Amino acid sequence: MKINRFLTICFVLLSNSVLLYAQSSDSVTQGGIAVSYFLYPDSSALRLQTTIQFKENSISGITIAKFRNDTIRGVLMNEFGVKAFQFTIVGNDCKISQPISQLNKKYILRTLQQDFAFAFAIQKTGDAPYSVQKIQNSTERIVNNKKTGELICQSDTVIMNNTQRGIRYTFIPIL
């Protein structure tokens, strides 16, 4: 009887330790910081296939971003490494720098800054300036209070529509 009890205790302890180990392993493999709808890896940069479409023009490339010390720093470049612009987001403020000549106009930069801040800086809690709607199990729609932009967040894609200016941004994580 005593042996049985001993074995049972051993089994329970072993099961718990295996479970704890599995949980800790899981948290390591899925390590990263979630800001907005993007998960920033701890040891490397977030990479997103990115398309910005405006009427018949589009820019496609790869966004590489890092979240450190409450600041998101990133760059959009084409597949061969040539940069379209770089950005820095602190809180809800986004600053675009070193844009290519096509984008280097005040109103374009202002729009890009607002849109990138909306796409990258919004908190999942859906604080004051935004309303969050659950469309399906894996899809959320976030609308800003001015109703000039919406963010459609699916499991593998984040789409930001600037409804006022007709610009569509698509971000797909590169794994």
Whose Cβ is closer to other proteins: residue 61's or residue 149's?
61
Whose Cβ is closer to other proteins: residue 3's or residue 82's?
82
Whose Cβ is closer to other proteins: residue 64's or residue 119's?
64
Whose Cβ is closer to other proteins: residue 98's or residue 123's?
98
CB of 89 to other proteins, least distance (A): 12
Looking up tokens 């000039």, which residue turns up? 148
CB of 94 to other proteins, least distance (A): 13
CB of 54 to other proteins, least distance (A): 10
CB of 35 to other proteins, least distance (A): 16
Whose Cβ is closer to other proteins: residue 52's or residue 119's?
52
CB of 114 to other proteins, least distance (A): 20
Q: What is the 3-state secondary structure (H, E, C) of the chain?
A: CHHHHHHHHHHHHHHHHHHHHHHHHHHHHCCCEEECCEEECCCCCEEEEEEEEECCEEEEEEEEEEEECCEEEEEEECCCCCEEEEEEEECCEEEEECCCHHHCCHHHHHHHHHHHHHHHHCCCCCCCCEEEEEEECCEEEEEECCCCEEEEECCCCEEEEECCCCEEEEEEECC
Question: Applying CB under 8 A, which residues contact other proteins?
Answer: 44-45, 47, 49, 51, 56-62, 64, 66, 73-75, 77-84, 86-88, 97-98, 100-102, 156, 172-175
